[in-house]
Structure 1
Amino acid sequence: MFSEKDKAQIEKRGSDIKTVEQQIENFVNGFPFIKARKAATIDDGMIRLKESEIDELVALFDKESSRKKLLKFVPASGAASRMFKALFAAKDEGKKDKSVEQYINEIDKFAFAGSLMKVTQGKRDDQSLLNGLLNADGLDYGSLPKGLLEFHQYGDQTRTAVEEHMVEGAAYANRNGRVRLHFTVSPEHKSKFKSLIQGVKKAYEEKYGVQFIFSFSEQKKSTDTIAVNMDNTPFRLEDGSILFRPAGHGALLENLNDQDADVIFIKNVDNVVPDHLKDETIKYKKALAGLLMSYQKKVFNFAKRLDKPEVSDYTRQKALSFLKNELNVTPPKGFRNWSNEDKLAYAKAKINRPIRVCGMVKNVGEPGGGPFWIENGDGSFSTHILESAQFNFNNKRQSEIFNNATHFNPVDLVVSTKNYKREKFNLLDFRDPQTGFITEKSMSGKTLKAQELPGLWNGSMADWNTLFVEVPLITFNPVKTVNDLLRKEHQPA
């Protein structure tokens, strides 16, 4: 299937033939549907914290954070073009729907209105407001990433999404006055991120009394996946080379794997709010981190005891009980008949894994993943974040389970990626390669099949110890379309 020229192209990208052949096999066979057992709900796979518990966890985090290496990790690679889909249709094809009318009529409510008026020289006709926002000789918002867009207004000042993450980071990713932030960016936008940060960094450091330490990474070319024709043969460009495509946010597992921190906060770039609404976000971020620290201590204690040359029956049983009752890991059927040696090996393997605490909001009909119990490949049961594409909706029972979900995944995670010896886990060892996605795309008028790697917080973290915690809906304010910025959560107080 692959010529010597193909192999050279694959190797140059940093990948290998076996990986690409496996991707072809995935196209041929497809990915299996997940075996969901039930939705994770309050007191059945999900924690609802009392106000007193939140206060205790925040206090724990505040006490312990000075001794922990903290990092705020923000996936910020993709262009914001989907935010402006309706506006592009209006600009290029004259198709104006209600959302376009709302954009035009309420233009002054957007934080970027001042910048837009400068490029349109004050013109406010429909075409000027569309061209000025989207064209390369205007603000060029249609090709910029969300992080660089002006999201919020503060008097005569505005803030981009990146700046809002800086302000958030100063509140909860602050270790002794040092705030580490990592943004995943596209190569073509990296200089723009650096330029923006360079221009505002000093002012924010003075305002919040901190030192910001920024790092950036790009989605690695080696993680791109092969595209195929509908008959599963490699899709080739005009020059005969194979088409490889970015493999979705699951590819960022490699970027996360490269980070060195004891506690990592993960949050999407567009989920930010103005200062007058930040208190709840900060409180719950600290509470999630406090909960992570409390469980981290328990997990490390068990891992250390299970690592000893001699492990008592009592320690093994306590570890298994902790896994089942607190980490939501139920052993496979017939486990009681296993030998003590096999039970110990099972306990060690399940305890000694990365940990994630995931905030979950009540389901309000947003598209995307949610918290569920599933049957794992080894026959055990545990909690996972699943996407709708992983469900077989032709199966009535699976469809019912999906529809019974009470909560939604807002991508609000606090994670621990080291073992009790403070050694980094290789996160690639804990993903489920069978949880990728296949989609249909087109290029140059031809239909093709594309493949996404297991999602960063879905299949890429499938074999992590997972805790779900209910968080308030106010902590989830994504900007999927430009008009989302008109919602009260993104407007000045």
Structure 2
Amino acid sequence: MFSEKDLGQIAKRGSDLKIVEEQVENFKNGFPFLKVKKAATIGDGLIKLDDAEVTEMVDFFDQQASKKKLLKFVPASGAASRMFKALFAAKDEGKTTEAVDTFVNEINRFAFAKSLKKVTGGKNDAQSLLEGLLNSEGLDYGSLPKGLLEFHEYSDGTRTAVEEHMVEGASYANRNGRVRLHFTVSPEHKTRFKALIAEVKSAYEEKFGVQFLFSFSVQKKSTDTIAVNMDNTPFRKEDGSVLFRPAGHGALLENLNEQDADVIFIKNIDNVVPDHLKEETIKYKKALAGLLLSYQKKLFNFAKRLDKPEVSDYTRQKALSFLKNELSVVPPKGFRNWSNEDKLAYAKVKINRPIRVCGMVKNVGEPGGGPFWAQNSDESVSLQVVESAQINFNSTSQAEIFQNATHFNPVDLIVSTKNFKKEKFDLLAFRDPKTGFITEKSLTGKALKAQELPGLWNGAMANWNTLFVEVPLITFNPVKTVNDLLRKEHQPK
């Protein structure tokens, strides 16, 4: 299948030949569908905190924050080009739509309006605005990542999405005045991210009385997956080399794996709001972090007791009860017939895992995954974030379970990636490799099949201890198209 030249290419990019061969087998065999048992709903796998409990968890986090190494982790490498799909069609092909008309008519309500006016010389006809916004001679928004776009307008200027994450971080990722932020970026934009931060950092540090500590990483080339022809043979570029493609946000598990922190806040780059709406977001971020730390304390206590040379029946039974009743980890059928030694081994494995608390919003029809009870490869059942691509919609019962979900995943996670000895887990050991995705694409007019690694917040975290918590809808305000910035949640007060 691979020539000597191919093997040299694979080695040079840092890819593992065995893994590449497994990827080809995945194309041939496909990925198995995940078997969902039921949707996680309030009181049945989904926690709803009342006001008193929110306050209690916020206070607990505030008490613990100074003792913990905190980090805000923001996937920010995606290009914003999809935000402007309709605008590109209008600019390049003259395809005017209602979305384009809205953009042109409401141009002055965008935070970037003044910057755009400068590059167009004040011209406000549709073509001038589109070219000024998207072309490299103008603002070049068509090729920049979302993090570098002006999102919100204030009386003293505008803020990019990166700056809004800085402001958020100062409020909940603040340990004794030090705020650590990590952005995953594309290599070609890393310099611009650093330049923006260098320009604004001191002003925000003075305003919030903190010190910002930034770090960056790029999606590793070694995580790219091989592309194949429709007959599952390696797809080759015009120069004869094998085509490898970025493997989706699941590839960022390696970036997350390299971080050193006790509590890590994970949130997408485009889900930010202006200051007058931040209060609820900050409150729930702290509440989820407080809940994480409270469960972590219990898990660490069990882990220490299970780590002793002699473990009592009482401790083993208590650990198993905690897993099932508090963490929604249901053992496989026939578990009661297992030996005590096997039950103890099972308890140790399930207790000693990374922890994630996932905020979930009520389902309002957004595309994407949601919270479910699902069967794992070891036949146990646990809480999983499940995407539509993982569901067998030819099964009426599976389709109904998925479509009747009450909540949606807004990518609002707080995670703990260390064990009770303060050692970092190897996160790669806790993903389910059989939860990848296969999609059809094309290059230079030729059809191909591409493969994504298990998603960062679903398959990549399939074997984590998981808590689902309802969070208010106001905490979820993504910017998928440019006109989303016209929604009241992204406009000045």
Shorter-chain TM band: over 0.9
* CA positional deviation for 1:413: 0.1
Matched with 1:373 is 373
CA distance in 2, matches of 1:432, 1:14: 22
> Equivalences for 1:188-199 in 2 at 5 Å?
188-199=188-199
Deviation string 1:49-92 (CA, Å, 9 cap, x unpaired) is 01000000000000000000000000000110000000000000
- 2:481 pairs with 1:481: yes
What is the CA distance between 1:15 and its match in structure 2? 1.1
Give yes or no for the alignment of 1:51 onto 2:51: yes
Q: Which amino acid aligns with 1:252?
A: L
Structure 2 counterpart SS, 1:314 = helix
Matched, 1:213 2:213: yes
Q: Secondary structure at the match of 2:469?
A: strand
Per the alignment, in what secondary structure is the counterpart of residue 423 of structure 2? coil
How far apart are the structure 2 equivalents of 1:251 and 1:330? 29
TM-aligned CA deviation for residue 239 of structure 1: 1.2
- 1:320-348 per-residue CA deviation (whole Å, 9 max, x = no partner) reads 00000000001111111110000000000
* 2:314 counterpart residue number: 314
Q: 2-side partners of 1:245 and 1:336: how far apart?
A: 46
| Alignment partners' CA distance in 2, 1:217 and 1:387 | 26
Aligned-pair distance for 1:263? 0.1
Q: Secondary structure at the match of 2:73?
A: strand
- CA displacement, residues 273-325 of structure 1 (integer Å, 9 cap, x when unaligned): 00000000000000000000000000000000000000000000000000000
- Post-superposition shift, 1:156? 4.3
Rounded to whole Å, the distance in 2 between the matches of 1:380 and 1:312 is 24
What are the Cα deviations for residues 363-398 of structure 1, in whole angstroms up to 9, with x where unaligned?
000000000001111111100000001000010000
Between stretches 207-216 and 375-384, larger displacement belongs to 375-384
CA RMSD of aligned residues (A): 0.4
Q: Deviation at 1:44?
A: 0.4
Structure 1 unaligned regions, length at least 5: none
Name 1:96's counterpart in structure 2. Answer: 96
Identity of aligned residues (%): 81
| 1:246-288 CA distance string (max 9 Å, x none) | 0000000000000000000000000000000000000000000
CA distance in 2: counterparts of 1:155 and 1:68, whole angstroms = 35
Q: Distance in 2 between matches of 1:453 and 1:379?
A: 22
Kindly indicate whether residue 206 of structure 2 is the aligned counterpart of residue 187 of structure 1: no
Which SS does the other structure have where 1:56 is aligned?
Answer: helix
1:347 partnered with 2:371 = no
2:52 and 2:240 map into 1 onto residues whose CA distance is 64
CA distance in 1, matches of 2:177, 2:58: 18
Q: 1:17 offset after TM fit, Å?
A: 1.1
CA distance in 1, matches of 2:462, 2:229: 30
Match of 1:140 in 2: 140
Amino acid at match of 1:327: L
- For residue 379 of structure 1, give the secondary structure of its aligned residue in structure 2: coil
Aligned twin of 1:239:
239
- Between the aligned partners of 1:126 and 1:404, the Cα distance in structure 2 is 42
Q: Distance in 1 between matches of 2:391 and 2:138?
A: 43
Residue of structure 1 in register with 2:439 after alignment: 439
Query: Whole-Å Cα distance in 1 between the matches of residues 39 and 13 of structure 2?
Result: 40
Q: Could you say which residue in structure 2 is the equivalent of 1:407?
A: 407
How far does the alpha carbon of each residue in 1:4-44 deviate from its partner, in whole angstroms, 9 at most, with x for none?
Answer: 11011101111121100000000000001010000000010
Matched AA of 2:278: K
2:393 is matched with 393
Question: Pairwise mapping of residues 54-453 of structure 1 onto structure 2 (< 5 A)?
Answer: 54-453=54-453
TM-score, with structure 2 as normaliser: 1.00
3-state SS, counterpart of residue 101 of structure 2: helix
Does residue 17 of the first structure (1) align with residue 17 of the second (2)? yes
TM-score by length of 1: 1.00
Provide the rounded CA distance (Å) in 1 between the counterparts of 2:114 and 2:19.
49
Q: Read off the aligned partner of 1:97 and give its amino acid letter.
A: T
Task: Tell me the equivalent position of 2:471.
Answer: 471
Name stretches of at least 5 consecutive residues in structure 2 with no aligned partner.
none
Secondary structure at the aligned position of 1:72 is classed as strand
Which digits, 9 at most, give the CA deviation of each residue in 1:432-470, with x for residues without a partner? 000000001110110110000000001000000000000
CA distance in 1, matches of 2:207, 2:365: 39
Amino acid paired to 2:251: A
Matched residue SS, 1:34: coil
Offset, 1:155: 1.5
- The letter for the 1-side match of 2:126 is D
Aligned residues: 493
Distance 1:167 1:378 in 2: 43
Q: Which has the larger displacement, 236-245 or 410-419?
A: 236-245
2: CA distance, partners of 1:333 / 1:360: 29
Task: Work out the CA distance in 1 between the residues paired with 2:376 and 2:232.
Answer: 29
Q: What SS class does the counterpart of residue 277 from structure 2 fall into?
A: helix
Aligned counterparts of 1:179 and 1:227: Cα–Cα separation in 2? 40
